[in-house]
Amino acid sequence: MKNITEIRPINYDKPVFVYRNLHKKCWSLKQGGLVVGYSIHLTLKDAKCIVNKKGNEKVRITKQKNVHAFIKGYICDNFEFNGESISYNPYINDTFIMNNTPVHNVCYVLFNNKVVGINQTNILTQLREQDQAERKEYSDFVLTKYNGDYKMAVKEYYKLKNRDSFDIFDDNQRMKIFMSIDFDFVNFTKNDWENYWLLSQHADLHIKFQIFALEKITKYLGVDNEYYKYLSDRISCSQNGTQKYGTQCICEKFN
């Protein structure tokens, strides 16, 4: 949000339409039919790729460019991710293209000197990899520096990392991204559910979200699965200090 030059007030609770401004060599933002700002570095979430058919046809007939293709979405904080290039050539394509395939909906789109998108499978995978890398680093620290004594190691670790004692794995930043995504649960793969559950399992500072995640798991997968049992016990431990399925090694009420 900090990289936007506003020329009119922007309602950040509503989507904007973004297109390349060839004259200013930046990205233009429209809202309510008016240009509201410019940016050279911008990220949208819950994005939709839109091509106006009549505008596309006019370009092909007149051979003159006009603004008829947009990416619509909600402005969010910029963050770096590994995604796929998104492109649109009105003389060749009828839609935006991502990974050599027509694309209409994208989880996140980064606008910089190029346009990069990331879908829900990839972002879940990347968030999980970050989650696991943090925990492996901590585990290695405990084993090598404190001979496996986690209670002794934890205080030194969060001081070393300059983090809050309740967020030694730097989960909050990941959770901020994770919890903001409007996932398409209907089209989740098996790996998507695995990654969604694991990230939800580690959202201990966000009990309401864990309950929300458990409801989604129940709705789409039922209750006879490990994801439900582990997350259900995790929530119960945090709220009551008890668990039904015995999945948690440590079960303490979260104060």
Q: Give bridge partners of residue 56 from the DSSP assignment.
A: none
CA gap 2, 41 in Å, rounded: 9
Joined together, the tokens standing for residue 140 give: 């290695």
pLDDT tens digits for range 206-222: 999 999 999 999 999 99
pLDDT tens digits for range 162-187: 999 889 999 998 999 999 898 999 99
pLDDT number for residue 3: 86
Q: What amino acid occupies position 142?
A: V
Residue 2 has pLDDT above 70, yes or no: no
Nearest alpha-carbon partner for 170 in 130, 139, 198: 130
Judge contact between 246 and 233, C-beta under 8 A.
yes
Total length of the chain? 255
Q: What angle do CA 247, 251, 255 make, to 5 degrees?
A: 140
Task: Give me the residue spans of the domains in the chain.
Answer: 4-118, 121-240
pTM for the whole structure: 0.82
* Percent of the chain topping pLDDT 70: 99
**Mean pLDDT for the chain?**
94
